[in-house]
Amino acid sequence: MNQPIGQKRPTGIYLALVWMVLNLVLFILMIPGDSTDINNYIEIILWITSIGWLATMKKAGAAFATTVLGITLGTSIGNVLLSYYYNVMNEPVAYINALRIVINAIIIVYMYRRIFSGNFK
């Protein structure tokens, strides 16, 4: 990538990229079970775009990736609330979404701190 010599990506950015790739794989695996839901396809496109942009270490890319994490956070909160409402909190999907809420919130806070501390060009 176009980074100045001596500038390294922080480990947290690598971990965020790994988490984003795992989310992308999760959405790809969800397609056969829910192939008519266009939201899955939209989120896949958003994940692919945000992974590429975050890897460039540009401020706009980090902001876009943080926005996509926020969208997914909202989707996961909605899924957990629906699971609670329909009394299916013991399903694995509810636990996966609860885990995604926690991890996405942590990464969003980390990304905001990195963006505003001047780590991105």
pLDDT, one tens digit per residue, over 2-41 is 555 445 778 888 999 999 999 888 878 877 776 677 877 8
Predicted confidence at residue 35, as pLDDT, reads 66
Predicted confidence at residue 6, as pLDDT, reads 46
Tell me, what DSSP letter sits at residue 115? H
Q: For residues 27 and 32, what is the distance between their CA atoms, to the nearest angstrom?
A: 10
pLDDT digits (tens, 9 = 90+) for 47-104: 899 999 988 888 888 999 999 999 989 988 988 888 888 887 777 778 888 899 999 9
Axis-axis angle for helices 59-85, 92-116 (nearest 10): 150
pTM above 0.85, yes or no: no
